[in-house]
Structure 1
């Protein structure tokens, strides 16, 4: 009886979820109703999925509006009608076209005009599929309207937006947020009527008792509407079903491609590989995932043809078929990766490939996929109201001063001291928090569907310019749409650009194959660098935490790095199992503490769960769960489950089975605690292996081409650290660093031999258009010979030219920059040249008597600090007082367990909490020789001594060692002062 119901996916309008709507319907004895969100179908599939749980027949449609102005409500009579509604709305959203007054004529649909709209426009004729909707409120006007005579066209259209007065208040706040105005300025036209609520069905019938024909018309409509999607476990995938248009041809192609590559991947023996390959192919065919593999192969093939680098990771790296197709570079036989983790008959979801491309290439890869396949869309995601966002929005709506909003959003208040308005902000903030705010784009997901995406949802067109579905990955998976993950990362761009730089800076280097990872794994220089954790700039292994772990584990091989890549993840680390792994690594006797079953299942990781596969093994072999139940755990720990109840049921069975096996509860609960700690963080072993391959490629380049590699690192946004730190690292590796030069520099950094010229891009106040003029003129007419020559040839303001001079971009002239600044002001200071102006004849510059000027080392450093954000000299040269200690990192060995006084330039800090929830810090510093050392501030010290931004700190602390890793436990520290800026002193 309800044909116009809203959920909170009527964004910044509705006030409760689609599941809450079903619960509300059950409470009011409603057995069938329609969900019609405003210009949105985000909730429709989950509404249909959940409806049977409430014994309700679901109907779906769309409330078509221009802003708040309702035009008509479209109801889908069947799946085709739903597709038609979605397609029609998608066109309007893509083109930003307003919804017209007249509803379209679409197969399988019904359109209902609200009574107020019919009155306003004086509508006369209605098509067979068009009706006039009458709400309870409209019954007061209906008898006095000519439309009382349209008896066969009148049906009940009672909107449902609120459950209570509180919902109505929340709605008004959402409308004020949506309109970005004060609540007091919100007009009644922007707000829904307070009586848009659901009545018990018998009450609704009672309200319309004088108009039985309206009830009869409505009752006739409901049986005409029926929609169905398959949400059962083991449902058929809705992804593109074939690659070649024929399942038989698909399989023959997949088989052919694998056989073509078997000798390349396994030149020294193929028997084991062939056995594994045939086993996988049989299962892939049985589970109808042949096209899935071929589509991924197609994507990777295009990338290789364009010279793009990629990394295939995720659970897909467990597949030898993926390895043969070149989707991944991880050999599953080498790592004993069992295919059943990736795909098995008990798994409810299809295999999962994550394919990384360079951040520079990802856009073209996305374009290719959309052009290559017929039914493609980006995956949507919901950006919800979080606490801080809600408080800030409501603070503005209620007119709170900025200081009060800041205080509330940072939770820096005593609730008892708050005024009434602030309390309202918090009260309604708690109601709105968690509601969807707007629909955005998933970071990597792309859907390639067998049917047009509008069969499932409306699509919208975000700034990226590609159609995007109005639901997230969970809803997509529910209906059988599984995303392809196409990600962008900078690590691959660093590798690719390093190779390009080597070609021009080291032309003597030929025949290097960056994909020859097997050779890199055996390289002593690379493995030695890994063991010493000299990995600055290298993908995934450069952070302080990873450096510490590599040293503690003395990692000097590929398999060790695979394990380390997963152990570092928060799940393993926070459960205490990272420390246990290290202890067992150093002391084999400690493995006796492991449960014998766990040790038997995971001998390579000392009986410690490290990978997602380990959880499946433990669940199956230790606790006796089925593979299907173990898969629920896998999805649960990776954050992909939809149902907490389902996860809870598996937990209860896990504990029950363990008791039946005779395990002590303390052992069972400890193992379960380890499993829970993986939630949202665990890596599949193949995933870690893929990361380790890229790490080895990076480390090889750093080992043999360090300056080219560091230049590429800088040109691709650095990594874990600030650009300044990578510039320092390049200097430590033998580079000479030059400030930007008008004749040698580009927007990015360039290397010539061992000279690295910083790019113009570091000059934050230099305009891009000025740089483009310089580069274009230099390319067209050659290098600049002097400042005068530059001014004659390049249109530039005195302000922009001053930046270049102060950064010594004219250093090649041999003239002091102060003298050049005088010359620049004499030449440009009183003139205004426009871009369209140019000089036919060179104008002779007047000669001026300029005083002899000399820039000091300190003045140059402070210019660099201002313009670059860092100085090119050692920061220790800027200290007000010379260091009182010459202790260095290399002294740690012979000062073990003693306190030392050392100076350090702050590189990075990490705030964390002790086991008791107290604040503490880890920090990384550079010593006076440029070497890195690490320090920890435990809670008592962290309370007393605070970090005050980057700079040099004098630290007094105790040198400690753990598993060979030396660090400093800070006792006290003080930030040291720099000299006064000489440019403004005196």
Structure 2
């Protein structure tokens, strides 16, 4: 009798999960029911799986609402009916129009209106009457509607306790306190499953209503295929035989391009992979990915193919990736094999400003009916739940802050209000909160995608499915990951700037040549990698120097061992130690030597962990694949991962492995959870790192300008300007006659762009250079004002940053002049003037600016000084006892150093105490690193940007010197002589 059931996917309304709904229905003797979540079909496929698993007949539907008002409920008679309902909701979501009061005519779906509906009913339409509305039938002639009445018993909550949870959810949704949630804002307390026979008893005087309801439900059949099926586009060319022939042709052509005509090893590997691809029916997947790459390359876009897909030599030959699987001894089975429990996918990165065009091509090439972006489902989590509950309870902000403060945990434990919040929190934790969009997943389906979901239109503006990657996989969809990153933007723009500024064309894809270049490798070994993709962070630069990393293969390993799993387990230190002394490796077990000799017995990659689980612990490939997914964090819960602990120990014991060795191997394995890379993924990162490094080595000025114009990387903007200056560039402040919106470069002269000026309006950033290029340089302040129609406040900003210095007048004189021009007058228009009248000139006293004033202006408007260095601004002339380059000669000594703050990283010790790692520049502009231990450091040691004086001990590890700080204080700077 339940044709209006809601799950948690009725966001911030329903309280039960799909699994709970099904279990509760079965417990009450229900044999069939309809899931009708509010304005979405997120849970329909999951609902059908659960029902099939537990013997309940599922019926799909959607409850259509406008704001709070229930309009009607749609029930699918079959698969086609579900598509009709999804199409209807999709149309309104994508066009962003309101759902109408009356439903359209559906061919394969029923519509149930609330009993208050006064319109004429169509053949497929019914009136739903609640049990508490039965009295409205008393004494009425029902002949006209007798066949149209059905029992409407909504289900939103499990019991009275969950009804209270429902009220809190409604308060969160409406952003109001609990007492302000009205009856119209929430369901009724009886909107739940009833004990067996109770609902039938409610309608006993009108048994025909129950008959109508049963007949309606009986006529609905969700005729979808059972189990996981492949719902992706089945062919690329329209014919599977043609697909096979085309893929083979493209692979063989690419084989010659990558390896020449006589490489027997590569040929054998390509043929082996093609056989597996054919057998597993993945031709279309490879061809569609190749088609996307072909399009993007035709547009001049640069891409990076990474992830496990880079294990495939066929992908390498198709130019999907640039990683040579033979060179790195990668094995294809990590990407695609018959034992995998999940579909493979390629990760394709584009520049941040090119990805949307690639996505647009996919939609147009494969059709909007068959293409959609992948969604995500965010959940209520941790402190955010406590804050939301506290607001609904009407608690003051200070009290809520106290409940989320980890340091007050002991005090809060006995607080009655906190106990109440905790009880609600425990029920709400991990419930779906809102639908969003996946970072880059795209689905391409064989059948129209609305058979399986309605579509949303997030701010990105492209149709998006209503479920996430986990559900997509279970339903039968493989995603295409079309991602973006800043690093590719750096490379793309740098190549363009080199061609424009130096008239040199760079083939950035000659990566193997870069890898053999001794100058590039020397740059890598020095750790001078600021701006370079994935290798610019302090931790990565330290690791590179400790490893004396000067080649691609070591960099591939470094790209993976920097990950938290390897680092926190202590294995990173072991790797570095044995890298310098490979003859001292003491392998835990012969299997470790056999499988991990390349990495000195250390598990560095996902593949290493899989190898150990199979060869050391005797686990099968399926469990190894589940473990791989666990290591990547690609599971909804840790149940699968935790189950493998017991399995690991059991199987290892059968093989006679010593208990203590098994325990240590498992410790190393488990430390990888959520933090490991596949070797191919690290290799892809290392390829991009080499491309960045080549550009930085030979064309540092253009490269750093590209980094700045693509919004930097790991560090603040000033550090990249500092790197520009170190490369020999003459960096100029923004200028209305020389600057563009973004940073530009001409020879060695670099002009900062208007984009970096705080408070400058976006329209002016483009208008000022466009007007200058169209009609020539600005001649004076008055000419600039007339041509740009700028207002007083914005003109003052440009004067203070020095952007009108071409006039030859001081800032103070210009400020006087701009107030005369704009201060008491209506802003001049840029209409054509019949006569141009000269402005009167006044004799002013000499108004000069000091460098110190200018530096303060720059710190305010750019975020850093350019006219002076931060060291020149210090009150003291003291620069420390020694500089970075001399640190290594004072190991073990206590020294004083002065450094400009670059960045910090906070970590927690095993005792949950805070410690810090800092990075600084000395007075010569060279980096040095610091360690701040808890017992020697104030509670909040860093005080933001500026210079610090530190007393510390020089320590050394693998030739890399740093400072263990004992005392630490920020140094004062000169006072601003003028307050504007």
After TM superposition, the score normalised by the length of structure 1 is: 0.96
User: 1:842–1:423: structure 2 CA closer, same or farther, 3 Å change rule?
Assistant: farther
Report if aligned partners of 1:632, 1:641 keep a CA contact under 8 Å in 2.
no
1:791-940 equivalences in 2 (<5 Å): 791-835=785-829, 837-872=831-866, 873-883=868-878, 885-940=880-935
Equivalent in the alignment of 2:547: 553
Report if aligned partners of 2:740, 2:754 keep a CA contact under 8 Å in 1.
yes
1:23-38 equivalences in 2 (<5 Å): 23-38=23-38
* Paired positions, count: 976
Equivalent in the alignment of 2:398: 403
Equivalent in the alignment of 1:258: 251
Deviation, structure 1 residue 231: 6.2
1:352 to 332, 345, 354: 345
Equivalent in the alignment of 1:212: 207
Please state if 1:484 is matched with 2:477.
Answer: no
Counterparts of 2:458 and 2:656, CA distance in 1: 57
Equivalent in the alignment of 1:155: 150
Counterparts of 2:58 and 2:130, CA distance in 1: 20
Equivalent in the alignment of 1:639: 633
Counterparts of 2:588 and 2:5, CA distance in 1: 57
Deviation, structure 1 residue 497: 0.4
Counterparts of 1:871 and 1:451, CA distance in 2: 59
Deviation, structure 1 residue 598: 1.5
SS at match of 2:872: helix
Please state if 1:973 is matched with 2:964.
Answer: no
1:500 to 460, 473, 496: 496
Deviates more, 1:771-780 or 1:904-913: 771-780
Deviation, structure 1 residue 708: 0.6
What residue ranges of structure 2 are gaps of 5+ in the alignment? Answer: none
Report if aligned partners of 2:587, 2:601 keep a CA contact under 8 Å in 1.
no
Please state if 1:775 is matched with 2:769.
Answer: yes
Report if aligned partners of 1:385, 1:434 keep a CA contact under 8 Å in 2.
yes
Deviation, structure 1 residue 354: 0.2
Deviation, structure 1 residue 879: 1.0
Deviation, structure 1 residue 412: 6.0
Counterparts of 1:811 and 1:770, CA distance in 2: 18
Report if aligned partners of 1:945, 1:973 keep a CA contact under 8 Å in 2.
no
SS at match of 1:602: helix
Equivalent in the alignment of 1:529: 523
SS at match of 1:528: helix
Deviation, structure 1 residue 648: 4.2
Equivalent in the alignment of 1:440: 436
1:129 to 106, 124, 127: 124
Counterparts of 1:936 and 1:230, CA distance in 2: 60
Please state if 1:107 is matched with 2:107.
Answer: yes
Please state if 1:20 is matched with 2:9.
Answer: no
Equivalent in the alignment of 2:614: 620
Counterparts of 1:479 and 1:889, CA distance in 2: 58
Report if aligned partners of 1:30, 1:200 keep a CA contact under 8 Å in 2.
no
SS at match of 1:488: strand
Deviation, structure 1 residue 589: 3.8
Report if aligned partners of 1:879, 1:978 keep a CA contact under 8 Å in 2.
yes
1:3-18 equivalences in 2 (<5 Å): 3-18=3-18
Counterparts of 1:359 and 1:698, CA distance in 2: 16
1:318-357 equivalences in 2 (<5 Å): 318-357=311-350
2:452 to 450, 456, 459: 456
Deviation, structure 1 residue 424: 4.7
Counterparts of 1:593 and 1:338, CA distance in 2: 24
1:955 to 950, 957, 967: 950
Report if aligned partners of 1:76, 1:108 keep a CA contact under 8 Å in 2.
yes
Please state if 1:569 is matched with 2:566.
Answer: no
Q: Deviations over 1:8-46 (max 9, x none)?
A: 111121122112212222332323222110111111111
Please state if 1:198 is matched with 2:193.
Answer: yes
What residue ranges of structure 1 are gaps of 5+ in the alignment? Answer: none
Equivalent in the alignment of 2:688: 694
Deviation, structure 1 residue 485: 0.5
Deviation, structure 1 residue 148: 7.5
Q: Deviations over 1:40-72 (max 9, x none)?
A: 111111121122343322222111111221122
Report if aligned partners of 2:798, 2:804 keep a CA contact under 8 Å in 1.
yes
Report if aligned partners of 2:290, 2:319 keep a CA contact under 8 Å in 1.
yes
Q: Deviations over 1:610-662 (max 9, x none)?
A: 11111221222222222222211112221223565444444333221110100
Counterparts of 1:134 and 1:634, CA distance in 2: 52
Counterparts of 1:95 and 1:171, CA distance in 2: 31
Counterparts of 2:830 and 2:805, CA distance in 1: 29
Q: Deviations over 1:745-785 (max 9, x none)?
A: 01100111112111111111111222333222211111123
Deviates more, 1:413-422 or 1:393-402: 413-422
Report if aligned partners of 2:888, 2:956 keep a CA contact under 8 Å in 1.
no
Counterparts of 1:548 and 1:249, CA distance in 2: 52
Deviation, structure 1 residue 943: 4.1
Report if aligned partners of 1:231, 1:479 keep a CA contact under 8 Å in 2.
no
Report if aligned partners of 1:316, 1:342 keep a CA contact under 8 Å in 2.
yes
Counterparts of 1:146 and 1:851, CA distance in 2: 99
